Amino acid sequence: MRIDISGKRVLVTASSRGIGKGVARAFLKEGCKVVVSSRSRENLEKVVYELKGSVFPSVWGVQMDLADSVSIKAGVEQIVDLMGGIDVIVFNFGNPPNEPSYFDETTMEDWEYSIRMYLEGPIQILKGLIPFMRRQRYGRIFFLSSWTVKSPQPHFTLADVSRSPVIQLSKILSKEEGKNGVTVNTVLMGSFPTPGAEKSLKRIAERKNESYDELWKREVLSPIAVGRIGDPERDLGSLLVFLSSEYGGYVTGSSILIDGGSSPYVL
C-alpha cells in the first residue's frame, strides 16, 4: 500500500504546540501544504520558524482564535488567499481557561467561551471552507476530541459537555456531504503529551494534595494497556494521514478511538 497525499492543502487549528503541532508535522512529511494556526502571534511565529527550519517550505501561519468570530472570518479569508482552497481540516482545540473545574465552579462566561471554541468556531470555519470541498468533490474533516465525551469526568465539565455536540455535528455532516466526496469523523483521543494536559493534571494534583508524579502514574499511565502515552505525530498524525488518503474514503460518520486501550467503555 502506497499512500500519496502530497500537495493536499491542510488546515490544523490550535497547532503551535502539542497535538496540533505533531499532526501538522505528519502532514508536512507527506508533502502537504499546511496552515498552522494559533491565537498567539508569538507562538505562531515560533512554530512556523521551527517547521520551515525542518525543511518544510509549504507551511504558513494564520492567527486565529476559535472563540472569536471576527478572528475566524479574517483567518478563513487568509487561508483561501494562501492556498486557494482546502482539502483537509483538522480541528484541534486548546483548553478552556477554567479547566479543570467542577460544575459549581464554572461561570456562565466559562460556558459561553467553551461552547464558542468547541462548537461555534468550527461551524463558522466549515461554513467558509466546505464549499471548496464540494466543488472539487474531495474533502476530509476531523474533529479531535476525547474518549471522555463518552465517559464524562466531573472535573472536565466544560470540555466534556461542550465537545459532546461535535459528535452529532460530525455524523450529520457525514450524511450530508458523503455524496460530495467529503468524509467527516471524530477522533476520540486518550492521553497525549501536551502543555494543556500537564497543566490540568498539576491543578488536580494540587487539589488532591498529592504529587504530580504519583497522580500521573495512577490516573494516566496505569490504565493504558500498551503502557505508554500517545505520540501526536507518529500515532495520531499517521492515522489522519491514512484517513486523508484514497484508502480512507469509506470511513465517515465515525467516532474513532485512539487511546492505547485506556478507555473503560466498549462502544
Encode pLDDT of 139-196 as tens digits: 999 999 999 898 888 888 999 999 999 999 999 999 999 999 999 999 999 999 887 7
pLDDT at 113 over 90: yes
**Interstrand relation of 9-12 and 88-91 (parallel, antiparallel or unpaired):** parallel
Q: Same domain, yes or no, for 33 and 96?
A: yes
Task: Report pLDDT for 267.
Answer: 64
Q: Same domain, yes or no, for 188 and 208?
A: no
Q: How far apart are the C-alpha atoms of 267 and 254, rounded to whole Å?
A: 12
Domain containing residue 92? 9-192+232-258
pLDDT, tens digit (0-9, with 9 covering 90-100), for 21-72: 999 999 999 999 999 999 999 999 999 999 988 778 899 999 999 999 999 9
Q: Same domain, yes or no, for 114 and 132?
A: yes
Q: How far apart are the C-alpha atoms of 256 and 234, rounded to whole Å?
A: 16
Q: Same domain, yes or no, for 69 and 200?
A: no
With cell 450529520, the residue in question is: 172
Q: How many C-beta neighbours within 10 Å does residue 7 have?
A: 11
Q: Same domain, yes or no, for 202 and 187?
A: no
Q: Same domain, yes or no, for 222 and 237?
A: no
Q: Quick check: is 13 in a domain? A: yes
How many domains does one find in the chain? 2
Q: Same domain, yes or no, for 82 and 139?
A: yes
Q: Same domain, yes or no, for 46 and 115?
A: yes
For helices 18-29 and 41-53, angle between their N-to-C axes, nearest 10 degrees: 30
* Cis, peptide link before residue 264, omega less than 30° from 0: no
Cβ-in-10-Å burial (0-12, 13-18, 19+) of 64 comes to: buried
Q: Same domain, yes or no, for 213 and 166?
A: no
Cβ-in-10-Å burial (0-12, 13-18, 19+) of 253 comes to: middle
Residue 198 binned pLDDT confidence (cut-offs 50, 70, 90): confident
User: Of 214 and 114, which is predicted with more confidence?
Assistant: 114
Q: Quick check: is 2 in a domain? A: no
Please state the length of the chain: 267
Q: Same domain, yes or no, for 106 and 216?
A: no
Q: Quick check: is 241 in a domain? A: yes
Q: Same domain, yes or no, for 35 and 124?
A: yes
Q: Quick check: is 94 in a domain? A: yes
Q: What is the pTM of this model?
A: 0.94
